[in-house]
Chains A and B, each alone.
Chain A
Amino acid sequence: MKYAICIATISLILAESGTLNAAEQSSRSDDVEYKLKAVCLYNFLKFTTWPGDPSISGDGDKIRDGKDTKAGTHSSLIVIGVVGDDSIAEAFVPLQRKSARDKKIIVRKLGHFETAQGNGSSKAPQVIDGNSLKDYHVLFIASSEKPHTERILATLRSAPVLTVGEADGFLAAGGTINFVNVDNRVQFEISRPSLARAHLVIEPEVFRLARRVIEDE
């Protein structure tokens, strides 16, 4: 039994010491789910090619304001926009510490999508102009935005934007990649037609891991 006590003691010491330097662990399964989706999205970036450099300004605020931006040469950036609650977008923020295909990653929290009409109040919610969404390389659209998904995707129909969602019917509405929750795991599905419309190329490694692939419409 002395062997058992030694092994248990050593293991406990090593395990406990490993907890001292890390950030506090989140116990909410939702947090984990969105972090895993962010990780998947980061991995998609590594295998995705855009048609040249998109007309993205290096200034995120200009994008948020919907102002025209000049077609730039900021091919050193991949800009990810997250449409939905800010707490969801938080899961994607750590991607800014990483790069993909030698490109720096920028994450923008776009909040909830509202119609351009707003409600006339000076305190109207932030409005996302559908046209400005074309300036992003990647758009993650949370399930809370499902009522607006079709409109968003229609606006982006042939824009070189990798649209990623997490709601039923996302691919049918024209989205490119959709997350699904299967047996307590994050899985994803891809639409080849949507990829082709956006003139994006994703390498076969990603398709191999997809739960389903839409081949045609």
Chain B
Amino acid sequence: MKYYVWRQSAGYFRVCAVSAIALCLAQFGSSALGEAATTDTDKLYELSLEQAISTQIVSASRQSQEFSQLTAPVTVITADDIHYSGLTTIPEVLQYALGVDVFATDRNRYAVGVRGLHDFTSDRVLILIDGRRAESPFFGGSEFYRCPIMMEDIARIEIVRGPGGAAWGANAFNGVINIITKKPADVQGAFLSTTVSEFGDTYTHLRWAELKSRWQYRISVGYVDRKSSDDAGAGDYTSFSPLLNDLIGFSSYTADDIGRALRFDGEALYLYSDQTQLSFGLGYSHDQIGSFELGGYNPRETGWLETGSPFVRVEHDFENGLTGSLQWYGNFANSWIPSLFKWRTYENDLEGQLNFEPADGHRVSVGGNIHLIRVNSTSRKPQELVLPNEPYDERFVGLFAIDRWEVSDRLTLEAQLRGDYYSETQTDWSSRLSALVPVDEAKDHMLRFSAAKAFRAPLTAIRQITTNRIDVDPLDVIIPGPGPYAFNIVPNDDLNNEEIYSLEVGYTGQIADDLRVAANTYYQTYTHLIGYQELSNPFGATYMPDNIDGATAYGAEFEVTKAYRNAHLSAWYAYNYFGQDKSIQNVRSYAPPRNSVGLSSRLFLSDGFVFNTNYRFASVTPAPGVMITPDVDESHRLDLTLSKKILDGDGEVMVGLADVLNNTNGPNGAMGQLTAFETPGRMLFARLQLKY
């Protein structure tokens, strides 16, 4: 008899907290295409076979126990949250998650941060796809617009708030965003989704997945076409430095922020034996984005980006409960952004991990990785960025160990320790120590105490870039050109890592079978934060990156989730204080909004209709220190969708109104921008999905 049992690999690399996340998806969250959120008899018997096998068997105590076993505060965005939002970009979905701060600078570029410290180029959040790094190896920040992934291929997004410690890898500074993709066996068959907006934007996704004997595979292709803010009825430009308008040619600026992408994402798993599973895949994305102004330079040309992300992974069960995995992945990118320059990056990562139970009550993971980065560039025009002495070959080497110790039925301790060597700055370490204490015997109420430390190493873009921007002497009257310029950055290769230390106390409680509450408070101190110091220069502003000083942050986060028979409601509130040690200190990013609120509801109506609402409020987002760009105004955002199953559950139609409360948004600028423009607000869209 031949049979094949697939390993429940979640496609990511970390145990302990991450494993618990996989088991504790909210009773109210599930796979896409509409799981019934309730245990109502009538509703259950209407489920299709696919829906029935996707529905979680809810056990109140088991769920609360799993969720409360996490040693860090975690927010989870489920596939249902993504599906019913109707949204087509990851940052738009992230903004409704507790702890994530997001604003758009144009239709392609977003500032994304966890507990603030966000900016288009900010490097304070570690971005992963299935545990593999997806951030820019050049500047360390997120580039969601070039991720080779389609929205309906996402099983969930896990957001760790606070230092990532040893569990997630080097540079998990203020938070971690891990995007987990769906496994082929969970989405078998053909799937088509197409979304059209009133502006003419389109988002099309075609997928085929199959499970066949020892193989399962998934292939997705997608095409995205986003119109410019001008074409979408927004695009009013604002100058933050009117005195420079003539120099930068401001009167001719138009909001040409188009976005087009062709994406491919494939993954295959092969069950070599009952003990060994192989998986491999390839993600590819070709993107075009419109030009934007930075430092007074706006070439008004469309740029392009190409990204290839292959991986190979082996997982094996040894004897006596020992399991292990070995993975190689690469990220290869070729980019030209007209406001910046042309550059190529090559990343290779080899990592291994072993999991075992050396003694009663102890679950241990050990592992390490080698991460190689190469950066090279081409500068054509004097205004473009320059990387002197390129190409750059850099490397990270890391080792980690995690021990989760069930001391007794009333106490669990977890220790994570990681050391990383970086060829360009220093060897550093990150860690998290946690204690989990059940308040009651049923473990429906849990307390968590944590202390954590992490670091952020400054990558090539921060240490090496030099740039000349606004030519203050275009006629070469003062000094023959090129230069001097009004906006310059000079490199500093003598930077130390940024450091963060955190203390946290958290509580999770299953108040009733269908009511869950979570609360978390934190205190964080930062040292050696890197900002841009203004140097004296008679001809204009010249900045140099430097470890200026530190900062302090503290806050509280509350979340409540309730399931009704035909509905799911959730609400959260976050208070975040951030204060630099020096009042005029530049920290290369925005601070978190002091107060933010999120509300979500999903109503399962009769006849297969589902009505979904998402709301978010954020108070003013401060721009600390001496920065060119101003604070981001207080904001409200409300999204509404109404969907209905058709074709006996093999299809779905949706209509939605995104950003109901705003005609336009902004203008919001990224750090270093002298200008910004409004982006479109309210948008009507429609979506059709079919599966076979």
Contact = CB atoms under 8 A, between A and B. Distances in A.
Contacts of B3: 171, 189, 212-214
A35 interface: yes
Contacts of A14: 567, 601, 603, 611
Contact of B2 (A12, A94, A182, A215): A215
Contacts of A36: 44, 47, 52-53, 55, 57
Contact of B566 (A18, A42, A95, A188): A18
Interface stretch (B35-43, B145-153, B674-682): B35-43
B113 to A, nearest CB: 22
B513 interface: yes
B343 interface: no
A11 B40 contact: no
A186 B53 contact: yes
Contacts of B4: 212-213
B570 to A, nearest CB: 10
A124 interface: no
Contacts, number: 154
A22 interface: yes
Given A19-B566, A189-B3, A7 B41 contact: no
A119 B39 CA distance: 41
B569 A39 contact: no
A154 interface: no
Interface string A8-28: 100110111011001101110
Given A11-B567, A32-B57, A94-B41, A183 B603 contact: no
A171 B5 CA distance: 14
Interface stretch (A55-63, A65-73, A203-211): A203-211
A179 to B, nearest CB: 10
Contact of A18 (B23, B211, B564, B599): B564
A44 B214 CA distance: 24
Nearest to B63: A184
A129 interface: no
Contacts of B5: 211-212
Contacts of A206: 49
A31 B6 CA distance: 27
B1 A214 contact: yes
Interface string B588-611: 000000000101010110000001
A35 B44 CA distance: 7
Interface residues of A, number: 56
A14 B5 CA distance: 43
B45 A98 contact: yes
A11 B613 contact: yes
Interface string B561-575: 010111101010000
A33 B57 contact: yes
Given A29-B62, A40-B49, A18 B603 contact: yes
Given A18-B567, A33-B57, A11 B601 contact: yes
A155 B379 CA distance: 80
A196 to B, nearest CB: 14
Most chain B CB within a 10 A radius of its CB, from A8, A26, A32: A32
A181 interface: yes
B41 A23 contact: yes
Contacts of A187: 53
Given A185-B56, A208-B189, A3 B41 contact: no
Interface in B183-220: 185, 188-189, 210-211, 213
Interface in B16-50: 22-23, 38-42, 44-45, 47-50
Given A31-B39, A211-B185, A11 B45 contact: no
Nearest to A40: B52
A15 B57 contact: no
Interface residues of B, number: 56
A179 B599 CA distance: 37
Contacts of A11: 567, 569, 599, 601, 603, 613
B490 interface: no
Contact of B8 (A97, A183, A208): A183
B617 A25 contact: no
Contacts of A131: none
Most chain B CB within a 10 A radius of its CB, from A3, A26, A42: A3
A3 B636 contact: yes
A171 B55 CA distance: 24
A208 B210 CA distance: 7
A215 B6 CA distance: 15
B653 interface: no
B597 A1 contact: yes
Most chain B CB within a 10 A radius of its CB, from A40, A44, A209: A209
B614 to A, nearest CB: 9
B422 interface: no
A98 B46 CA distance: 10
B59 interface: yes
Nearest to A193: B1
Given A3-B661, A4-B599, A36-B57, A15 B566 contact: yes
A181 B8 CA distance: 12
Given A11-B567, A25-B40, A26-B39, A185 B58 contact: no
Given A12-B569, A16-B564, A19-B565, A43 B599 contact: no
A214 B2 contact: yes
Nearest to A27: B513
Given A4-B617, A32-B58, A43 B52 contact: yes
A15 B603 contact: yes
B117 interface: no
Contacts of A214: 1-3
B70 interface: no
A38 interface: yes
Nearest to A189: B3
Contacts of A42: 45
A19 B597 CA distance: 27
Interface in A86-142: 94-95, 97-98
Interface in B246-300: none
B333 interface: no
B54 interface: yes
A32 B513 CA distance: 13
B415 interface: no
A172 interface: yes
Given A4-B615, A217-B1, A19 B188 contact: no
B213 A215 contact: yes
Given A22-B40, A208-B188, A4 B597 contact: yes
Nearest to B568: A15
A1 B617 contact: yes
B569 A15 contact: yes
A18 B5 CA distance: 41
Contacts of A217: 1
Nearest to B566: A18
A16 B211 CA distance: 41
B26 to A, nearest CB: 12
Given A4-B597, A184-B59, A208-B189, 13 more contacts: A15-B601, A22-B565, A26-B39, A38-B45, A39-B44, A40-B52, A43-B49, A172-B1, A184-B56, A184-B57, A185-B54, A209-B49, A213-B213
22 contacts: A1-B617, A3-B615, A7-B615, A8-B599, A14-B601, A14-B603, A22-B40, A29-B59, A32-B39, A35-B44, A36-B55, A40-B49, A185-B57, A186-B55, A188-B53, A206-B49, A209-B49, A211-B5, A211-B185, A212-B3, A213-B4, A214-B2
What are the 5 tightest A-B residue pairs by CB atom distance, in nearest-first order?
A: A18-B566, A15-B567, A29-B59, A11-B601, A43-B49
Interface of A: 1, 3-4, 7-8, 11-12, 14-16, 18-19, 22-23, 25-27, 29, 31-33, 35-36, 38-40, 42-44, 94-95, 97-98, 171-172, 181-189, 205-206, 208-217
